[in-house]
């Protein structure tokens, strides 16, 4: 243990901010990416304000000690995984909604507040915070910002970055910058807000965010369709997106539906190859027209069952099935969760490729995800006690990344690069773009102390 570091931290932080208990440190070593490597931190700092973060980064810079920022630990790429001897900087006690301005349609929040808490604070004023990751009930805004998280509603309303007006960020040397502002349009200077959103804590530590709120949308109508083939479901998705703008368009394959039914029976058809869930929140005649157009697309693509409902409770029940997809697959065994995106026109090819990979590698792959924007989550399920099964699972995981790249896609649509996908980043970006990433990192963090080993 670095006793000199602890003494210096104790001199600039409240006593309750420092944690060295071995069990607590162990619990803060990694996020939910079970197979991503992680080290052993020297200390956990539970920051309660921006000044705490400034003090930690000033000291870390002076001593050249790595700092790993951490939110709720719900990430899926190893982006919050500790390195040996680092300071894990937890932001979960910075958990206040500082302001909700109903006339300005914005909220100001700290990074430790949960996505669900922002939604609740907005709802109290009759407003809505749109970004809607599947982890909305337990993921923090800081983590959502760090990975530019997407979610179920992003097909219409965009990802987290589309709802950010401005940030307060502490840089590696402890200085504080503010980016953006409270206006809906702002093109003064470089877009530093966009630079920090999605940077996974490698360029600075976000300590405050000004978020865009929206009027609450009309009650949604929900459509459900089942398909005898994945290719048919993929074709329906591309046709729907070419003809209308759903507020949600999600897909689950047979393996995922069966896992959900085993976990929490909801009446899903376990024989169908694919289950498509769509919504329109346009309201009125436009909402009716949207749903009718979606139904026609599904029928033309070979759907064996199509229905829709305006009942809010029934719609939420169906949405529950989609939100249970990953936890249900986790109950089937150890998982390697992929997060790939392809152009909309290539969705049928991606689904076919995943089927082929599962067969070739002899592994179970449950595929679900945000079909409306081409962002799918093929989840490899295997027996963690079987070394051969683990080897096949890792090979399938890599094969899926390769397939996405071959289709002109991306290795991550919303979970981030972290350490899990870092070896593939250069393959997607190319050497020149990767070099530019490293130059930006060097300019913002010349000592390399901020979340080292992540992204690039």
Q: Which domains does the chain have, with CATH numbers?
A: 3-90 (3.30.43.10), 97-215 (3.30.465.10), 221-406 (3.40.462.10)
DSSP 220: P
Tokens of 235: 């074709």
Give 436-448 pLDDT, tens digit per residue: 999 999 999 999 9
Query: Given this model, what pLDDT does residue 425 score?
Result: 96
- Mention every residue, 6+ apart, whose C-beta is less than 8 A from residue 37: 78, 81, 419
pLDDT at 35: 83
The proportion of the chain whose per-residue pLDDT surpasses 70, expressed as a percent, equals 100
Cβ atoms of 261 and 255 closer than 8 Å: no
Residue 102, token pair as written in the block? 């109903």
For 136, 233, 246, 344, the CA distances from 242, given in Å and listed in that order, are 29, 14, 11, 9
Mean pLDDT within 92-101: 98
**Which residue, among 129, 299, 138, has the nearest Cα to 228 in the 3D structure?**
299
Report the C-alpha gap between 90 and 94 in whole angstroms.
9
Residue at token pair 């896609």: 409
Could you tell me which of 259, 397, 394 has the C-alpha nearest to residue 333? Answer: 259
User: Where residue 72 falls among pLDDT bands split at 50, 70, 90?
Assistant: very high
Query: 388-422, pLDDT tens digit by residue?
Result: 999 999 999 999 999 999 999 999 999 999 999 99
The residue-averaged pLDDT of 358-366 equals 97
pLDDT digits (tens, 9 = 90+) for 252-273: 999 999 999 999 999 999 999 9
pLDDT of residue 1: 59
Distance, in Å, from the CA atom of 437 to the CA atom of 455, rounded to the nearest integer, reads 9
Phi, psi values for residue 305, rounded to 5°: -150, 130
- Checking if the pLDDT of 350 tops 80, the result is yes
- Give the largest CA-CA distance in the chain: 69
* Mean pLDDT (the chain, rounded): 96
Percent of the chain with pLDDT over 90: 95
pLDDT value, residue 28: 97
Mean pLDDT value across residues 328-349: 94
pLDDT value, residue 313: 87
Q: What is the reported pTM?
A: 0.95
């Amino acid at each position: 243990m670095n006793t000199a570091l602890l003494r210096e931290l104790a001199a600039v932080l409240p006593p309750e901010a420092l944690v060295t208990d071995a069990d607590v440190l162990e619990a803060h070593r990694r996020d939910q990416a079970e197979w991503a490597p992680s080290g052993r931190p020297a200390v956990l700092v539970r920051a309660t304000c921006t000044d705490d973060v400034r003090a930690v980064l000033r000291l870390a810079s002076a001593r050249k000690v790595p700092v790993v920022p951490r939110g709720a630990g719900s990430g899926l790429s190893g982006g919050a995984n500790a390195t040996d001897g680092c300071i894990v900087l937890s932001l979960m006690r910075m958990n206040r909604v500082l302001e909700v301005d109903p006339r300005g349609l914005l909220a100001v929040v700290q990074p430790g507040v949960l996505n669900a808490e922002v939604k609740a604070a907005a709802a109290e004023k009759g407003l809505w915070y749109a970004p809607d990751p599947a982890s909305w009930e337990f993921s923090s805004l800081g983590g959502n910002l760090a990975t530019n998280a997407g979610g179920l509603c992003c097909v219409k309303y965009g990802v987290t970055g589309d709802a950010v007006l401005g940030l307060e960020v502490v840089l590696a040397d402890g200085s504080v910058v503010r980016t953006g502002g409270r206006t809906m349009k702002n093109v003064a200077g470089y877009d530093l807000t966009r630079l920090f959103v999605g940077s996974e804590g490698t360029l600075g530590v976000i300590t405050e965010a000004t978020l865009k709120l929206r009027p609450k949308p009309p009650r949604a109508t929900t459509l459900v369709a089942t398909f005898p083939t994945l290719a048919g479901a993929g074709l329906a998705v591309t046709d729907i997106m070419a003809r209308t703008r759903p507020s949600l368009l999600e897909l689950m394959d047979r393996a995922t539906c069966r896992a959900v039914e085993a976990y929490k029976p909801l009446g899903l058809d376990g024989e169908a190859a694919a289950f498509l869930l769509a919504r329109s929140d346009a309201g009125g005649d436009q909402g009716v027209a949207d749903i009718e157009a979606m139904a026609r697309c599904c029928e033309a693509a070979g759907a064996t069952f199509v229905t829709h409902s305006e009942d809010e409770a029934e719609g939420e029940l169906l949405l529950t099935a989609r939100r249970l997809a990953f936890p249900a697959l986790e109950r089937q065994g150890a998982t390697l969760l992929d997060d790939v995106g392809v152009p909309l026109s290539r969705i049928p090819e991606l689904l076919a490729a995943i089927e082929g990979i599962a067969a070739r590698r002899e592994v179970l792959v449950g595929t679900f995800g945000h079909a409306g924007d081409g962002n799918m989550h093929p989840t490899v399920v295997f027996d963690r006690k079987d070394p051969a099964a683990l080897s096949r699972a890792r090979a399938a995981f890599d094969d899926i990344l390769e397939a996405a790249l071959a289709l002109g896609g991306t290795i991550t649509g919303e979970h981030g690069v972290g350490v899990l996908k870092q070896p593939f980043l250069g393959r997607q970006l190319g050497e020149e773009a990767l070099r530019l990433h490293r130059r930006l990192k060097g300019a913002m963090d010349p000592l390399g102390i901020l979340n080292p080993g992540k992204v690039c």
